[in-house]
Chain A
Amino acid sequence: MASENHISQYSPRQRELFIQKSTRVAASYLRRAESLEDPPEALRPFFDVLGRIFVDLEDVPKPVGMKTVGTYCVMVPSELIWAAGAMPVRLCSGSYTAYTIGDDLVPRDACPLVKSVMGWEIGASPLYENCALMVIPVTCDCKKKLAGMLEQWKPTVTLHVPSSKERDADMAEYVRELYRLIPMLEEVTGRQVTSQSLAEALNQKGYAQYEMSRFLAYRQNNPPLLHGTQVMAVMNTFAYMPPLEWAECMRRLNDELEQRLERKQFAAKSNRPRILVTGSPIMYPNLKIPLLIEEMGGMLAADETCMGERALYDPLTVTDRSFDGMMRALAGRYTRPCTCPTFTDNRQRIFRIKQMIKDHQIQGVIYHVLRGCLVYDYEYPVLEEELEKEGIPIIRVESDYNEEDVEQLRIRIEAFIELLKLKQFSEQKARGTA
Chain B
Amino acid sequence: MSYTIGLDGGSTYLKGALLKGRQVVETMVCSTGIDNNGSAEQMLGQLCQKAGIARSDIRYTMATGYSRKVLTVADDDISEITAHAYGVRVTAPKEYRPGMIIDIGGQDSKIIYLDSGYNIKNFTMNDKCAAGTGKFMEVAAQILETTIDQVGPLSLESTAPCDINSTCVVFAQSEIISLIARQFDRKDILAGMHISMAKRIVKMMKKSEKNGDILMTGGGALNVGIRKAFEEELMKDVYVASYPQFNGAIGAALIASERA
Which 8 interchain pairs have the tightest Cβ spacing?
A415-B81, A415-B79, A418-B82, A419-B120, A414-B79, A418-B79, A408-B127, A415-B82
Which of B79, B82, B123, B124 has the most C-beta atoms of chain A within 10 angstroms of its own C-beta?
B79
When the two chains form their complex, are residues B121 and A393 in contact, meaning their CB atoms are under 8 A apart? yes
Complex CA–CA separation, A193 to B125 (angstroms):
53
Is A176's CB within 8 Å of the partner chain B? no
Neighbour of B119 across the interface among A394, A404, A426, CB < 8 A:
A426
B125 contacts across to A, CB distance below 8 A: 408, 411-412
Q: How far is the CB of A418 from chain B (nearest CB, A)?
A: 5
What residue in chain B is nearest A420 (Cβ atoms)?
B120
Is A395's CB within 8 Å of the partner chain B? yes
Which of A411, A412, A419 has the most C-beta atoms of chain B within 10 angstroms of its own C-beta?
A419
Is A2's CB within 8 Å of the partner chain B? no
CB within 8 Å for A422 and B82 given contacts A408-B127, A408-B128: yes
When the two chains form their complex, are residues A393 and B82 in contact, meaning their CB atoms are under 8 A apart? no
B82 contacts across to A, CB distance below 8 A: 415, 418-419, 422
When the two chains form their complex, are residues A411 and B81 in contact, meaning their CB atoms are under 8 A apart? yes
Is B58's CB within 8 Å of the partner chain A? no
When the two chains form their complex, are residues B122 and A393 in contact, meaning their CB atoms are under 8 A apart? yes
- 8 Å CB interface, A365-396 against B: 384, 388, 393-396
Is B78's CB within 8 Å of the partner chain A? yes
Q: How large is the interface on A (under 10, 10 to 19, 20 to 34, 35 or more residues)?
A: 10 to 19
Q: How far is the CB of A230 from chain B (nearest CB, A)?
A: 26
B78 contacts across to A, CB distance below 8 A: 418
B80 contacts across to A, CB distance below 8 A: 411, 415
Complex CA–CA separation, A281 to B60 (angstroms):
43
Is A423's CB within 8 Å of the partner chain B? yes
What residue in chain A is nearest B85 (Cβ atoms)?
A419
Query: Per-residue CB proximity of A398-434 to B under 8 Å, as 1/0?
Result: 0000001100100110110011001100100000000
Complex CA–CA separation, A56 to B80 (angstroms):
42
Neighbour of A422 across the interface among B119, B122, B123, B124, CB < 8 A:
B119
B79 contacts across to A, CB distance below 8 A: 411, 414-415, 418
- 8 Å CB interface, B102-129 against A: 117, 119-125, 127-128
B123 contacts across to A, CB distance below 8 A: 395, 412, 415
What are 13 pairs between A and B in contact, CB < 8 Å? A394-B122, A395-B123, A396-B124, A408-B127, A408-B128, A411-B80, A411-B81, A412-B125, A415-B81, A415-B82, A418-B79, A418-B82, A419-B82
| Cβ-Cβ contact count across A and B, 8 Å cutoff | 42
A405 contacts across to B, CB distance below 8 A: 127-128
Q: How far is the CB of A391 from chain B (nearest CB, A)?
A: 10
Which of A384, A415, A419 has the most C-beta atoms of chain B within 10 angstroms of its own C-beta?
A415
Query: Per-residue CB proximity of A213-232 to B under 8 Å, as 1/0?
Result: 00000000000000000000
What residue in chain B is nearest A384 (Cβ atoms)?
B122
Known A-B contacts: A394-B122, A396-B124, A408-B127. Give 20 more (CB < 8 A).
A384-B122, A393-B120, A393-B122, A405-B127, A411-B79, A411-B80, A411-B81, A411-B125, A412-B125, A415-B80, A415-B82, A415-B120, A418-B81, A418-B82, A419-B81, A419-B82, A419-B119, A422-B119, A426-B117, A426-B119
- 8 Å CB interface, B123-176 against A: 123-125, 127-128
Q: How far is the CB of A415 from chain B (nearest CB, A)?
A: 4
What residue in chain B is nearest A417 (Cβ atoms)?
B79
B119 contacts across to A, CB distance below 8 A: 419, 422-423, 426
Which of B80, B121, B127 has the most C-beta atoms of chain A within 10 angstroms of its own C-beta?
B121
Query: Per-residue CB proximity of B54-92 to A under 8 Å, as 1/0?
Result: 000000000000000000000000111110000000000
Complex CA–CA separation, A235 to B127 (angstroms):
31
Complex CA–CA separation, A395 to B123 (angstroms):
7
Complex CA–CA separation, A168 to B188 (angstroms):
63
What residue in chain B is nearest A418 (Cβ atoms)?
B82
What residue in chain B is nearest A395 (Cβ atoms)?
B122
Query: Per-residue CB proximity of B213-247 to A under 8 Å, as 1/0?
Result: 00000000000000000000000000000000000
